[in-house]
Structure 1
């Protein structure tokens, strides 16, 4: 029995934090789960530190391996006569680390807090009862050992293909058979280089949050943010398994029993390229009183995999399925809220699930390609175009135009990330292009050349006073605009695109163009990474 207990401690996960039972309540009636970080004792503490340093050294060696191998080759160390001693040396290190791990297991075995935790974990594996799961939620530990809460296999989805959920693909250029073969041969080097770029530094540049060293540096902050969600908001952590096998780490805060109107609506948050639900945009709808479901991109935090578009969409799909089939929300009770690069999964979600109530995109863009071309050398242009379209085709606008529901775009007036000309050049903000494409798709008769011109003039305003001046300069009558649109909607009750404005004067079309632009987009005076205040988070306009 003692040997078995030691083995469970040896092979068990690293315990990070202990939360109090949710049965304890505060004066306001909500649960009080203020906890504390697990403190390993002497032997466990020192052995854990040694294994942690070994893990860091391994990560550094992994990322620097190309340079390290080149150095060893130049020094003549990569040869059969010298590889044998090196392998023996590495074997000795591994045996020593195994011994250290055994001693850590002994230290855990002598710690009653860890023994209590490992007993609850083992009991939960044998019996997945709600009571056992409630006890397990009092601990934060290594996510690979967290039991599965929901899998894509639990529901049947017609959106699944062999590769996962369906994505919009770039239209192929039509060629004859001979031309296609010749073209494939000529572009083969570009294909190989593009693949290597996308799967090495390209993916890490696009999603820096997936880099292990950055995550190690942010670990204390992420743990603190997660503890706040669990202990102050009674958040529930869940593991979802997507159709590609990736395990997605999520956090759900339920406000339906709080009595507020917003709590009946679920906001699903899609984070940016270095954002995590622990410290990301999830806090904005939380402060506004909504029920909120946050999740980490594949490869971010404790989610597994890598954040390529197919994996991203697969993860988004299982998150929505979980919200509907496990949490009990209807699609028309769900708002998708995304910040920055999270706009890709958000627009995929509303394209694939058109019944979703509405979409809010904060500091997002229409297409990745112009932004990628901005940061890469001009001589790389053909390679960048191929690599983006083939491997990281974040075509937000194309997906958004498939959605019929309410949309709100939030533009940062001093955005330094999604501009192609600099933060001072507000007209180079790709959020402008997203708005124009959306309006042109939905209201083509209003967004003629004159309509586009006045909307661009409004978009060029550098502050709220200039914006209001442009709006009042064209004497926009909000009441008249609403009545025109409502009349069109009542008479026809059709889906977008609408033909409203085709028999209207130029002045009328200008008014409608500005009215719609202001309804679909709100300006927020800030830079790209400033957290959005709850006061700026609104449900999109609906006619």
Structure 2
């Protein structure tokens, strides 16, 4: 038994924090705290530090070996001698590092084996793997450890086995750019001519392009933020009784999710689930989950593929696959109906949010904060003008975040929150509010839903309202809210048709302008701040519904 425990300690995950001691009194000196950081004993702590330095040294050694290879090749007259010497250096380096790592790992296991807190943790982890019961899972949830060792709580296969869904081997469906129609010969010649561009686009997208678009997936940034993320996760679990879950998407990625259940609390909002979609450097531990939590809603947050505990890389297909399993988990595991779910997204999270409401039209409502209509104009802004064809091709083929196109396929209530001092999703700068791509998202939505209302005169009036950023234009056009509401209600009662509506075809130009401004004001709210300011609960509202 002792040998078995030692092996579990040797190969077990790193333990970071103990949230609540399962059926065990708190150690002395910790009586006033709900949780505490795991304190390894000196042997484990020192050997862990050494392992960290060895890892850093190994990375430097790889670079040093590459440089030495070039030097030796230049120094020796024959290439065979250089190869033999380099092979000898490689074998000597690898054997030395391997022996050192084995010895250090044994010392780490020995230090853990002598720590009662780690022994109890590894025993609970093993018992949960053998028997994944709610009681064992509750005990395991008392610990924060490497998420790769966390047992899976839900998989997309559970839904697929029950009924036919839209899953396919390659993942859920995405909207693709419409192909240009060419003849057979032209298509072949064009494919040959554009092959170098395809290769370069692929390399750009899978190297620095993806990291520029989603900096939160960069390991160095995650390492720097780890203390903050651990603190945020402890707050969600210890103060809000959050439940951490591992979800397996249809592409095999493991998605790190956090659920806070408010259905048993008093208040009108607990029965509504808000699914949060974070920004390109956002994590649920410290992200937009806090806004609906302050409002008393039940909340489900998740991390992008490649962020924190989630595996994979955040390309659009992987993002959609992850969002799909999150929605399925909310419905089939947590017991929410789609019409009880509101999707709330910040910034680039608008892509997965708009995909969700497009794919699940029964979802109750959508709230998009500081989001944009299309990634391409923002990508062109930060890249050299000479790269324009390459950037366009790369975005359309590998990073096509077409939020507006997806949003227009949703029939439900929508609220857009525009940051009037936004410096990220503007194409010319925060001082030019008309370059905010949230304006384009609003106009695309209104033009799709109310094409007869959004004439040229109406568009000019809405753009004036967007440029002013205040109610002066609205008051200047003397918009009659009661009249606009009665017109829309009358149309809805007579027809009850899905969007797009034909309301406005028999109106005067003045009536269309009033109705356009009324709708713009209902669909968009201004928030006088910058892009990264947390949204207070006072600015979080359910979307307007006729």
User: Scaled by the length of structure 2, what TM-score is found?
Assistant: 0.94
Counterpart residue number, 1:118: 122
1:457 and 2:464 correspond? yes
Counterpart residue number, 1:161: 168
CA distance in 1, matches of 2:451, 2:3: 74
Counterpart residue number, 1:144: 148
Q: Cα gap change, 1:76/1:60 in structure 2, threshold over 3 Å: closer, same or farther?
A: closer
Unaligned runs of at least 5 residues, structure 2: 25-31, 75-81
Is the Cα–Cα contact under 8 Å of residues 415 and 543 in structure 2 kept in the other structure? yes
1:513 and 2:509 correspond? no
Residue deviations 1:6-41 (CA, integer Å, cap 9, x gap): 1110000101100125899xxxxxxx9810000000
1:129 and 2:114 correspond? no
Counterpart residue number, 1:351: 358
Counterpart residue number, 1:107: 111
Counterpart residue number, 2:79: none
Counterpart residue number, 1:48: 48
Counterpart residue number, 1:214: 221
Residue deviations 1:189-214 (CA, integer Å, cap 9, x gap): 00000000000000000000000011
Counterpart residue number, 1:28: none
Is the Cα–Cα contact under 8 Å of residues 59 and 213 in structure 1 kept in the other structure? no
SS at match of 1:315: helix
1:533 to 528, 531, 536: 536
CA distance in 2, matches of 1:56, 1:522: 48
State the 1:70 CA deviation. 7.0
CA distance in 1, matches of 2:528, 2:245: 35
Is the Cα–Cα contact under 8 Å of residues 450 and 501 in structure 2 kept in the other structure? yes
State the 1:53 CA deviation. 3.0
CA distance in 1, matches of 2:317, 2:401: 10
Q: Cα gap change, 1:412/1:497 in structure 2, threshold over 3 Å: closer, same or farther?
A: same
1:200 and 2:200 correspond? no
CA distance in 2, matches of 1:33, 1:333: 35
Counterpart residue number, 1:86: 89
Is the Cα–Cα contact under 8 Å of residues 59 and 212 in structure 1 kept in the other structure? no
1:17 and 2:13 correspond? no
State the 1:77 CA deviation. 6.0
Q: Cα gap change, 1:363/1:302 in structure 2, threshold over 3 Å: closer, same or farther?
A: same
State the 1:81 CA deviation. 2.9
Of the structure 1 ranges 52-61 and 297-306, higher mean CA displacement relative to structure 2 is found in 52-61
2:302 to 277, 290, 295: 295
SS at match of 2:468: coil
Counterpart residue number, 2:498: 495
CA distance in 2, matches of 1:240, 1:60: 36
Is the Cα–Cα contact under 8 Å of residues 169 and 250 in structure 2 kept in the other structure? no
1:191 and 2:198 correspond? yes
CA distance in 2, matches of 1:174, 1:491: 41
Is the Cα–Cα contact under 8 Å of residues 22 and 139 in structure 2 kept in the other structure? no
1:34 and 2:38 correspond? no
Is the Cα–Cα contact under 8 Å of residues 69 and 86 in structure 2 kept in the other structure? no
Counterpart residue number, 1:421: 428
State the 1:159 CA deviation. 1.6
Q: What are the within-5 Å matches in structure 2 for residues 446-485 of structure 1?
A: 446-462=453-469, 467-485=470-488
State the 1:56 CA deviation. 4.5
CA distance in 2, matches of 1:328, 1:33: 32
Q: Cα gap change, 1:33/1:321 in structure 2, threshold over 3 Å: closer, same or farther?
A: farther
CA distance in 2, matches of 1:397, 1:446: 19
SS at match of 1:165: coil
Is the Cα–Cα contact under 8 Å of residues 339 and 364 in structure 1 kept in the other structure? yes
CA distance in 2, matches of 1:251, 1:527: 27
2:260 to 253, 256, 273: 253
Q: Cα gap change, 1:395/1:116 in structure 2, threshold over 3 Å: closer, same or farther?
A: same
Q: What are the within-5 Å matches in structure 2 for residues 55-70 of structure 1?
A: 55-57=55-57
1:379 and 2:382 correspond? no
Is the Cα–Cα contact under 8 Å of residues 33 and 234 in structure 1 kept in the other structure? no
CA distance in 1, matches of 2:446, 2:66: 54
Q: Cα gap change, 1:8/1:439 in structure 2, threshold over 3 Å: closer, same or farther?
A: same
Unaligned runs of at least 5 residues, structure 1: 25-31
Counterpart residue number, 1:27: none
State the 1:82 CA deviation. 3.3
State the 1:59 CA deviation. 6.4
1:176 and 2:183 correspond? yes
CA distance in 2, matches of 1:420, 1:432: 12
User: Scaled by the length of structure 1, what TM-score is found?
Assistant: 0.95
Residue deviations 1:260-314 (CA, integer Å, cap 9, x gap): 1111000000000000000001101001110000000000001000000000000
1:75 to 63, 67, 71: 71
Q: Cα gap change, 1:523/1:136 in structure 2, threshold over 3 Å: closer, same or farther?
A: same
Counterpart residue number, 2:27: none
Q: Cα gap change, 1:522/1:188 in structure 2, threshold over 3 Å: closer, same or farther?
A: same
Is the Cα–Cα contact under 8 Å of residues 22 and 33 in structure 1 kept in the other structure? no
Q: Cα gap change, 1:256/1:59 in structure 2, threshold over 3 Å: closer, same or farther?
A: farther
Residue deviations 1:80-123 (CA, integer Å, cap 9, x gap): 13321331213211220121011100000000110011111111
Q: Cα gap change, 1:81/1:259 in structure 2, threshold over 3 Å: closer, same or farther?
A: same
Q: Cα gap change, 1:134/1:334 in structure 2, threshold over 3 Å: closer, same or farther?
A: same
Report how many aligned residue pairs link the two structures.
Answer: 528
CA distance in 1, matches of 2:59, 2:364: 43
Residue deviations 1:298-336 (CA, integer Å, cap 9, x gap): 000010000000000000000000000000000000000
Counterpart residue number, 1:277: 284
SS at match of 2:270: helix
SS at match of 1:178: helix
CA distance in 2, matches of 1:163, 1:282: 30
State the 1:75 CA deviation. 2.7
SS at match of 1:158: coil
Counterpart residue number, 1:391: 398
